[in-house]
């Protein structure tokens, strides 16, 4: 649903070459800038991610294919860096089957990025809340 024109492999590779965290934050912020605006009709409690300090919304779309279901997401936040983190979650999880989403080790990906150590505790909790919400949605679509 939301194609941000990059892959998690591309992001990991970029992070390998950029050591400065200001520049790495720039990459994350750019991901957020690529997110299409989320229509206000989706900015409701049903789609809000609890556990985030900022307002975050994740809207799933389930498509049935010949091989099963595929889930993609739209997302948004009212904070610039968090919007980039939403974009990162979409790059990791979009257009996958429920089983693929559940089996994706996003924490390992984030560890490779050294992200948790460079986020405030509240932002890190919010990021993990997004991850958990995506996995809950996938679980419900199995």
Question: Domain holding 36: CATH number?
Answer: 3.90.1010.10
3 state SS of 120: coil
Report yes or no: 99 and 142 within 8 Å, Cβ to Cβ: yes
Q: Which residues contact 66 (CB under 8 A, 6 or more apart)?
A: none
Label the pairing between strands 68-77 and 56-65.
Answer: antiparallel
In this model, does residue 93 exceed pLDDT 70?
Answer: yes
**Predicted local distance difference test score (pLDDT) of residue 2:** 53
- Alpha carbon 106 to chain centroid, angstroms: 10
Is residue 43 domain-resident? yes
Q: How many domains does the chain have?
A: 1
- pLDDT confidence bin for 116, thresholds 50/70/90: confident
Is residue 90 domain-resident? yes
In this model, does residue 34 exceed pLDDT 80?
Answer: yes
Is residue 3 domain-resident? no
Average pLDDT over all residues of the chain: 92
Active site residue 52: yes
Report yes or no: 108 and 71 within 8 Å, Cβ to Cβ: no
Which residues form the domain of 62?
8-140
- pLDDT confidence bin for 52, thresholds 50/70/90: confident
| Separation CA 53–CA 65 (nearest Å) | 36
Is residue 51 domain-resident? yes
Mean pLDDT across 20-40? 94
Q: Which residues contact 107 (CB under 8 A, 6 or more apart)?
A: 131
Choose among 82, 87, 72, 85: nearest CA to 35: 87
Catalytic residue among 28, 52, 89, 138: 52
Structure tokens at 55: 């307002």
Half-sphere exposure in the Cβ direction for 25 (13 Å, CA): 12
The helix (H) or strand (E) run that includes residue 57 is strand 56-65
What's the pTM value of the predicted model, to 2 decimals?
0.93
Choose among 32, 24, 5, 30: nearest CA to 113: 24
Is residue 42 domain-resident? yes
């Amino acid at each position: 649903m939301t194609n941000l024109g990059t892959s998690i492999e591309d992001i990991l590779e970029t992070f390998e070459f950029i050591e400065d965290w200001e520049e790495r934050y720039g990459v994350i912020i750019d991901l957020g800038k690529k997110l299409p605006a989320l229509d206000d009709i989706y900015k409701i409690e049903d789609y809000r991610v609890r556990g985030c300090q900022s307002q975050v919304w994740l809207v799933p779309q389930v498509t049935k294919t010949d091989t099963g279901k595929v889930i993609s997401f739209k997302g948004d936040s009212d904070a610039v860096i968090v919007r980039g983190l939403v974009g990162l979650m979409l790059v990791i999880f979009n257009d996958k089957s429920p089983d693929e989403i559940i089996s994706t080790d996003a924490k390992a990906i984030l560890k490779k990025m050294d992200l948790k150590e460079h986020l405030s505790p509240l932002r890190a909790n919010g990021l993990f809340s997004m991850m958990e919400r995506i996995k809950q949605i996938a679980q419900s679509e199995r």
